[in-house]
Chains A and B, each alone.
Chain A
């Protein structure tokens, strides 16, 4: 790092401060947002951070500038945050940012209430923990321009919290910042949820919340968010034209929202709804965002598989989802061993992404395929007796796959297949034979989940 003169540092800081207060007073979100984007690693913020390292007494500067002193409660933690971030102290950065964000809210609340945000307001409102009360007021507040900056803040809070947790975990401390970010964002969400221009903001914050909750593994907390969004009908898919630039964020938020709710449905094994949501997300996802598409496909493929729709090989290859390649092959071949192998091989990955249980259930489809194969073979040999499949044969076939199952178990599995409508027919217990229906003995799922 090149040597930075005191004067230069001073200049940079005051420059930042004045830009910030200008943006606030001119209500220019486009200027304000990048100033808040701590983790964007933008050159200007990095140079500012360097300046802050040189010029330690930045708070004094904040107080000195008349315009910025009004915003001191926001600015001084923000500066601290930028500095800590640059130094790699993410936990500190997060704490400072959360503070700044709180004051950000308070500030705009005060702006709303009195038009003249004063320090007095900060002190009273904040010190006495009126944050929640104030957030209530925030609902009635009509300054959409500040919303843009809010997006940035919400995003930054989450990103910094993640980094902070990584830092804390590596130093052996309890990583709790993400949790804190979650509860903070939840409060913000509570303030935004409802009707009016803020609902887009609510959607955005909800997406950040989803990210936090999924990361924390507390997905059950998403439920309340979803409920309030869906009861408030915060967004109507037709309402925002996709190509409108001003709603670009909204569109993004919609895709994100659909993605996460789709994932939730995967957990709940509501494959039809999951399919719907994830497909929507995939369709509306920006075509350039390959990684996003891959993420969506990661869930969409298992969902499609479980409703009997197999992906083309090129899709799997294009998005580098080869872990599904073997699964698809197993389904095609009726190779139970292959499926189990694939599951074992990628167990960790599947478990972490949460599709393991879905893939596990594909076993029945594989059995179905296997018996169908036996049926086809028998048909080739002796079409008249083809519809009677001896359980023994199935046991034998499984043995070839090196799977040791006795006849009782096979009988049970066939019973389940029949029970779940994967096979039409019945078992004759005495003769240990599966009698298949002569008409369409192996009905296709055709986009319906197993068992329906």
Chain B
């Protein structure tokens, strides 16, 4: 391979190129890229097609990302091999031979790939950048990954970790980046066929060791890579100027070509379609892709008969998610504009601009690790690069330019350069932290809009088995985390949100979850708002980080000694980041916990870490933090599709309207703390809650629930009761009902209410009490009052009053279920020592147990709890008397008590009267002979309206009639004696009595729920 010869040079260059990513078209890299000749034609072709300027941007980005990724990949490879030792041995071995064969590859792997690629495919000239861009165009996101990498960069191992993270944590973007990386690797492979494979193998091994999921991830990533790789090729191929083909031919690595080619088929779909009149294969591919998210892959399969296909198929599930992401980014541009390049460029720009956030994370990490390398690296290179970029990037946001400048400055003074990076890092940090906190809290917290709940339900609905469910859950957790971090949880239209794809099997699930999450997730409103100011810094950081990369690369040989350190780090990062959803969760938790503990110190810490790392002993904490930041950065970057951006803009505007709400929605930014200490407190409490859930020893009582209390502002007196309701609106307070019991989504309920403060609720209660409307209306109103009280955690006399009122109303209306609800609440409230009509309700309680639940142990415990004073109370005494009447079957006593019941006891007894009467008649018919006068029964069974006036015929006459009717209805045999008095024939009746079917019986067994009846009773 020509490249090999060049490699030595490349090694240095590659690093530099990486660093330069954006613009590094230096002679350096190019010369190194020697294989270039091939690439030149191709690249030039591309360039020609699109406007140069445009090309540049995209390419730059692409190239950058690609470079970094490549670098990362290679680095990771190297690191993995070295670090993992036994585990990675395979990969390593593969790698080693490879490197050796290829030449000074180690560096190369990084530098080489980058340079190689970029140069290779693209013209060695200025075009190289572009080429890189093209290849990477898909990878525009990569910057994110790069960041991660940079962070991880400290050690090669860290690279691996980052890589994995990217794959796992980042959703669509992460994948894309990964795939890009792979592509790059593949490209390299193109040159060195064996190389990529080794790569993969190593990956898998490492991943397996670290986590089960990792393996799958690697697999997926591979697939992606392939596709991506294909993509660049495609472009080149379909284009009048066939880059890939030419390059391949030139390189003379035909086998490589094939690999790359196949990959092209798959990945190229996007660019291809949009850009160029596709070759037959591509067209087909495209078609496929359009119909479904997946199609692209299929198309690939068809197109490419190569070995890659295998991977493909397996990947498919994971791919879908990927596709979605991609499609949002790529498809649109491609389709809409004849000039694919431009679009790409634009997109890339967007992405790029977004990327800075990611860079933050990266930058943080980077400074520590890289400073030394920076020094070693020739400054000139970096400068050149930056300069180069500037001209190329004009399209890219002014920010970029600025950043470039900054970088230049930085590069001038090596040490200085790094320092600024640090500073900038510290700024972003807080946000990251907070987001991480949020993430941690989010799951437990469960502040979810109803639409999201529905979304969750949907997602769970399609789970077929436990594995899927768990996968689904982990995915959802991540989604929530991310969405919360971004503040999009409430703003996103979950109803229209497509469901992420479910993993087909365990191994893939982790991948899928990762990839899918980010895609849907992030549209950070907060980010947005901060966007402009921060961008500059970030870019600068990024550049520096890049530089450091290059520096490191250059020093690669020297680095070997440091590899050991790296190893340890890798392992750390592995454990921290966790590849599977599972691990991921743990990681989050860990980090969250950690953060919690560290919080106060955080800022300082951060800045400190840099110095620490410089000293050569980075703490594990900082590592974790880095990972976290990386993760978030990447997530954010991923979120930055144009579509998302638009959406976000809209949302953002909306929130600007809602005063103060934004603060909350943005998840407790530290900045908002000043304005709303409450929020921060809440965050803290939530964190605690979270930590509790983690199985830590913290007791529930340690959670500061008070800090979670909400206070309402709504002034409306009348409000309808709604269970899960309206979307949040600016003057609405979001209410969180936390079920800490489990993090399972099903336990989380949220509602959005217009919450009324206590004073208003009091008025509302009065309104209800004096209202002339029917029970249904009152019940509704009282329920909404109760809801508001609950939500604000108001538990005082007012609460008791509300429940008492409601219980009485429910009793009067015969609404037993509602009554029982109120009663149980009242029991609790009384137990807390809040004053109310305790006696009255104790009596109700006894009665309802005696007459309705008939639960002996409940009765016993209720009776045990009665104080001596309570037993003297009229109502309670009455209840106890009812109890003894019922237990002995003393119907005379029962109906006497029925007539003299205090309060609303009558209403409770009402429901038992029928039963009592029937039993009494049965008893009578058995024990009396020969006859019983109906008039006596009328008195005994309480049919007469006024028992005191029983001797006056007039008053009891209707009672007798009613009694007669009732007796006949129950099958009694009535006779008339000589005096014309109606008698019950006891002996005859004893065999004919029966309990008639209730006429108003309803299917569900509760007549009180029959609507018509209910309405007539209550209105």
Contact = CB atoms under 8 A, between A and B. Distances in A.
A268 B586 CA distance: 49
Interface stretch (A55-63, A196-204, A309-317, A351-359): A351-359
A232 interface: no
Nearest to A214: B857
A120 interface: no
A152 B829 CA distance: 39
- Of the four ranges (under 10, 10 to 19, 20 to 34, 35 or more), the interface on chain A belongs to 35 or more
A161 to B, nearest CB: 15
B861 interface: yes
Interface residues of B, number: 34
A418 interface: yes
B760 interface: no
Interface in B931-957: 931-933, 936, 939-940
A173 B857 CA distance: 26
Given A128-B582, A361-B887, A412 B940 contact: yes
A66 interface: no
Contacts of A219: 857
A408 B931 CA distance: 16
A426 B990 CA distance: 13
Nearest to B894: A412
Contacts of A408: 892, 939-940
A348 interface: yes
B291 interface: no
B210 to A, nearest CB: 13
B884 interface: yes
Residues of B contacting A: mostly: helix
A409 interface: yes
Nearest to A219: B857
A129 B888 CA distance: 52
B889 interface: yes
B856 A268 contact: yes
Interface in A217-237: 217, 219-220
Given A408-B940, A415-B924, A416-B888, A220 B863 contact: no
Contacts, number: 90
B929 A427 contact: yes
A127 interface: yes
A413 interface: yes
Given A351-B864, A356-B860, A357-B856, A416 B890 contact: yes
Nearest to B866: A351
A126 to B, nearest CB: 8
B857 A418 contact: no
A407 to B, nearest CB: 10
A409 B887 CA distance: 15
A352 B864 contact: yes
B302 interface: no
A219 B861 CA distance: 11
Nearest to A347: B863
B395 interface: no
A429 B932 contact: yes
B695 A127 contact: yes
Interface in B596-637: none
Contacts of A417: 927
Contacts of A427: 927-929
Given A364-B888, A429-B933, A217 B927 contact: no
Interface string B914-927: 00000000111011
Interface in A97-113: none
B926 A418 contact: yes
Nearest to A408: B892
Given A128-B582, A129-B695, A267-B856, A412 B929 contact: no
Interface of A is mostly: helix
A409 B890 contact: yes
Given A128-B582, A416-B889, A419-B889, A429 B928 contact: yes
Interface string A117-144: 0000000001111000000000000000
A354 B860 CA distance: 6
B859 interface: yes
A367 to B, nearest CB: 9
B980 to A, nearest CB: 16
Given A127-B695, A412-B893, A357 B859 contact: yes
B891 interface: yes
Contact of A419 (B856, B863, B892, B927): B927
Contacts of B695: 126-127, 129
Contacts of A268: 856
Contact of A426 (B893, B927, B940): B927
A419 B928 contact: no
Contact of B888 (A127, A269, A354, A363): A363
A376 interface: no
Contacts of B939: 408
A174 B700 CA distance: 11
Contact of A415 (B855, B859, B927): B927
A408 B936 CA distance: 10
Interface string A270-305: 000000000000000000000000000000000000
Contact of A357 (B701, B887, B923): B887
Contacts of A95: 697
A409 B892 contact: yes
Interface in B846-897: 855-857, 859-861, 863-864, 884, 887-893
A348 B929 contact: no
The listed residue with most A CB atoms (<10 A of its CB), out of B860, B893, B922, B931, is B860
Given A129-B695, A412-B893, A429-B936, A361 B927 contact: no
A351 B863 CA distance: 7
A360 interface: yes
Contact of A348 (B864, B890, B932): B864
Contact of A412 (B861, B864, B891, B933): B891
Nearest to A426: B929
A414 interface: yes
A357 B860 contact: yes
Contacts of A217: 857, 861
Contact of A354 (B582, B857, B929): B857
A220 B927 contact: no
A412 B939 CA distance: 12
Given A412-B892, A412-B940, A426-B928, A419 B857 contact: no
B923 A416 contact: yes
B884 A360 contact: yes
A4 interface: no
Interface in A221-271: 267-269
Interface in A396-440: 408-409, 411-420, 426-429, 435
A358 to B, nearest CB: 9
Nearest to A420: B889
Interface in B568-597: 582, 586
B888 A361 contact: yes
Interface in B755-784: none
A415 B923 contact: yes
A361 B888 CA distance: 7
A336 B924 CA distance: 23
A412 B890 contact: yes
Contacts of A412: 890-893, 940
Contacts of B586: 127-128
Contacts of B701: 173-174
B888 A409 contact: no
28 contacts: A127-B586, A129-B695, A217-B857, A220-B855, A267-B857, A354-B857, A360-B887, A360-B888, A361-B887, A361-B888, A363-B884, A408-B940, A409-B890, A409-B893, A412-B890, A412-B891, A415-B927, A416-B888, A416-B889, A416-B890, A418-B926, A419-B926, A419-B927, A427-B927, A429-B928, A429-B932, A429-B936, A435-B929
Top 10 closest pairs, chain A to chain B, by CB = A418-B927, A426-B929, A412-B892, A415-B927, A419-B923, A351-B864, A267-B856, A409-B892, A416-B889, A427-B928
Given A128-B586, A408-B892, A415-B923, 4 more contacts: A351-B864, A360-B884, A415-B928, A416-B889
